[in-house]
Structure 1
Amino acid sequence: MNALVLRAKRVAVIAAAHADEVDRQARFPAEAVAALKAERLLGIQIPMQFGGESAGLSQIAEVCFTLSQACSAAAMVFAMHQIKVASLVSHGLDSDWHCSLMEQVAREQLLFASATTEGGIGGDLRNSLCAVETVGDVFHFSKDATVISYGAHADVILATGRRHPDAASSDQVLVALMRGQMSLERTSTWDTLGMRGTCSDGFKLEARDVPVAQILPKPFAEIAAQSMLASSHLLWSSVWFGIASYALDRARAYVQGEARRRPGQVPPGALRLAEAANELQAMKGTVVAGLQLFERAQGDADELGSIGFAVMLNNVKTTISAKSVDIVQRALGIVGLSGYKNGTPFSLGRPLRDVMSAPLMINNDRILSNTANLLLVQKGGGQLLSA
């Protein structure tokens, strides 16, 4: 077991101890995030020259998987943080200010959040109504952010907006806003079925007199295509795979217990367990293949921005989000009432509620519609194992 996984497992022990309370009270998983900072896991993606560990996406996905078996909300907070750090690392190397921010992330273990959704456009992150208003060497920014996951607890928020007030809605930039540079006025609260600890409240975000150096130099269209899309779909999928794996582990323990109580008899749920284990293995193969394809494409902007690559990533997200829900439901069917009840060794209520968010985080229908449009213009051909 590598050192990174050992550090993640130590955090997972702390996250698991508070997971039920985090869910019940819909509160931020503060203890788990404090443990992530203590283990210096928030800065692992930062390049070594800036004080980080240059961790690749597969290593980060392994941490997501480990955490998600303890507390889904803590794992999702970690995943969303790393998705935003990926944008900084991939597209901030040409900016002195953003390189300095990377050093600060590694040194202080800053927590990143995202403000890409907006009133009037819903979950369409590739369009903005708000705009950056530049005055000399500073800018002002105001956004009706309908969702900022754990925004009240973040040290840095990366927010999208139009390049200037006259720009098209799709001509966007990504700005880095530090905690002391912005105000957040809560406009809605996060009272949901599951993933309650992500605290994804809505806010009116205001920032004034922010140095223009804090705008990432690359257009957001490039950032989304070359890093954000891949890291989102692959790290979210790693969290959902972990939730499904946890549920199936409980189902396995239940069936094994039934077998010990009735030696010589195959428990009724054993066949269902075998079917679900087969689905879980296929799910793992999909996530691992996606991670390998992404890491092989690093540095190749044409491949990362290609139609085929976008289709592959979309398919990973829709496949894993659907399979994870199916596997947790299968596990509940195997365990029966012991899984339906809270407070038993086989309780599956919280994992089931959490995983139900998977098809809704960028709704699968929206992604499938996007894939359909891409397929209309994609050329045929390709190799068996290529994106």
Structure 2
Amino acid sequence: MADAPAADGATTLAARMKRVATVAAAAAGQVDRDARFPREAVDALRSERLLGIMVPRDCGGEGAGFAEIAELCTILGTACASAGMVFAMHQIKTASLVHHGANSAWHRDFMARLSRDQLLLASSTSEAGIGGDLRNSVCSIVPDGDHVTLEKDAIVISYALDADAILATARRAPDAASSDQVLVAIERAQADLTQTSTWDTLGMRGTTSHGFKLRARVPAAQVFPKPFAEIAAQSMLASSHLFWSSLWFGIAAGALAKAQNFVRAAARKAPTVAPPGAARLAAAAAELASLKALVRDGIARFERARRDDDELNTMAFAIAMNAVKVQASEKAVAIVQEALTIIGIQGYKNDTPFAVGRHLRDILSAPLMIANDRILANTATMLLMSRLDADLEG
């Protein structure tokens, strides 16, 4: 087990993550080039004991809040998008565990082990036959005495080979409807993984999101007591959209910081002339501020809704979270593209201090996770049955 960070006065969550980010940034190029798991960053996360910070204090964690986790996603995303995405996806699953496993003895014990041993959680929601529709499953759990079995053809399971446990969705029973789902915690030693595809992608290469046939037999106690529909609506939807958006903000901020350095360098060479790209930089900085406000407002809305289960389950809340995801992903892509325009050929080349090629390739995944068109179609359906939010407050 890793030692706790030294009590040196710089042990805030942000300070700890900044130390991780330094490690992640040093390996980011190699992680991207080789499409390999960001092991150095994850080892540093364990060393700084940042994987279990959302776990409640009475289970051995630090009880970190949602906004704090989002800030950490931004910090790490600025240094290495793949490492930031691994951290974000881990925290999304931890949110499901913390918010929906508190009344289960097995899941509370698992929370304690997550914090104590700094376990890394992965997710298996996508499946052959349903695409990216996480609210439907083809596979089901099958009772087997006091155990259940599961066989799932997972299109992707990010960093599955490096995770300590996988949280997988499945139908409640072989005769259950495709939307009648449960969430099952599967420890790595219980999972039989047969790789079916590789992850050779444009960006986010270090998430190693290969495809797998997943087979497992686990005690029935490892099935979450609440239906997955509740878990998705009350924590997974919001945590996915908001942690991802925080990460995308970090990627965009990192790219724009390079553009700012480029414009500053030009200004130093010709201090009496407005440098090329200065006006574009100002406009892009305004867009970055708009993205920040969007994400922060989404986080604040979720924090308010968490105190009211009725609000969490409303269409208005789901529509708001969908809007954050769609808008954040589109804004982040536009900001990184503008950073490249400001820098020009020095940003296009991979061997300069101003290179933003990796940022651009990584951020292009944002509108695809989950596809914005799918989200907008779901939102359109909900808008047919709910009132349009036209209030400036609330």
* TM-score of the two chains, using structure 1 as the length reference: 0.98
CA 1:233–1:157 in structure 2 vs 1: closer, same or farther (change >3 Å)?
same
Residue 239 of structure 2 aligns with an amino acid whose one-letter code is S
Q: CA deviation at 1:384?
A: 2.1
1:64-213 to structure 2, matched below 5 A, reads 64-208=73-217, 210-213=218-221
Equivalent-residue separation in structure 2 for 1:263 and 1:71 (angstroms) = 33
Secondary structure (helix, strand or coil) at the match of 1:377 reads coil
- Unaligned stretches of 5+ residues in structure 2: 1-9
- The match for 2:321 is 313
- The match for 1:53 is 62
Equivalent-residue separation in structure 2 for 1:168 and 1:263 (angstroms) = 68
Are 1:328 and 2:332 matched, yes or no?
no
Equivalent-residue separation in structure 2 for 1:237 and 1:197 (angstroms) = 18
2:21 to 12, 17, 28: 12
Q: Deviations over 1:292-332 (max 9, x none)?
A: 11111113111111111001100000000000000000000
Secondary structure (helix, strand or coil) at the match of 2:133 reads coil
Q: Deviations over 1:101-139 (max 9, x none)?
A: 000000000000000000011100000000000122111
Q: CA deviation at 1:279?
A: 0.4
Equivalent-residue separation in structure 1 for 2:291 and 2:145 (angstroms) = 51
Residue 225 of structure 1 aligns with an amino acid whose one-letter code is A
Residue 362 of structure 2 aligns with an amino acid whose one-letter code is D
Q: Deviations over 1:324-345 (max 9, x none)?
A: 0000000000000100001211
Q: Deviations over 1:8-45 (max 9, x none)?
A: 00000000010000000000000000000010000000
Residue 130 of structure 1 aligns with an amino acid whose one-letter code is C
Q: Deviations over 1:228-275 (max 9, x none)?
A: 000000000000000000011000010011011001100120010011
Equivalent-residue separation in structure 2 for 1:161 and 1:59 (angstroms) = 31
CA 1:171–1:253 in structure 2 vs 1: closer, same or farther (change >3 Å)?
same
Residue 65 of structure 2 aligns with an amino acid whose one-letter code is G
Secondary structure (helix, strand or coil) at the match of 1:114 reads strand
How large is the RMSD of aligned CA atoms in angstroms?
A: 1.0
- The match for 1:300 is 308
Are 1:287 and 2:299 matched, yes or no?
no
TM superposition outliers: structure 1 runs of 4+ over 3 Å: 380-383
Equivalent-residue separation in structure 2 for 1:51 and 1:257 (angstroms) = 48
Percentage of matched positions with identical amino acids: 61
Secondary structure (helix, strand or coil) at the match of 1:187 reads strand
Q: Deviations over 1:175-232 (max 9, x none)?
A: 0000111110000000000000000000000012x11000000000000000000000
Residue 136 of structure 2 aligns with an amino acid whose one-letter code is N
Equivalent-residue separation in structure 2 for 1:126 and 1:260 (angstroms) = 54
CA 1:380–1:23 in structure 2 vs 1: closer, same or farther (change >3 Å)?
closer
2:257 to 249, 255, 268: 249
Q: CA deviation at 1:2?
A: 7.0
Secondary structure (helix, strand or coil) at the match of 2:79 reads coil
Equivalent-residue separation in structure 2 for 1:381 and 1:372 (angstroms) = 13
Residue 214 of structure 2 aligns with an amino acid whose one-letter code is L
* TM-score of the two chains, using structure 2 as the length reference: 0.96
- The match for 2:42 is 33
Equivalent-residue separation in structure 2 for 1:108 and 1:226 (angstroms) = 27
- The match for 1:263 is 271
Q: CA deviation at 1:382?
A: 6.7
Equivalent-residue separation in structure 2 for 1:12 and 1:228 (angstroms) = 25
Q: Deviations over 1:57-78 (max 9, x none)?
A: 1000111000011100000000
Are 1:277 and 2:278 matched, yes or no?
no
Farther-moved stretch of structure 1 (372-381 vs 177-186):
372-381
Residue 337 of structure 1 aligns with an amino acid whose one-letter code is I
Equivalent-residue separation in structure 1 for 2:96 and 2:313 (angstroms) = 15
1:224 to 232, 236, 248: 232
Task: Count how many residue pairs are aligned between Structure 1 and Structure 2.
Answer: 385
8 Å contact kept, 2:316–2:389: no
Equivalent-residue separation in structure 2 for 1:263 and 1:379 (angstroms) = 54
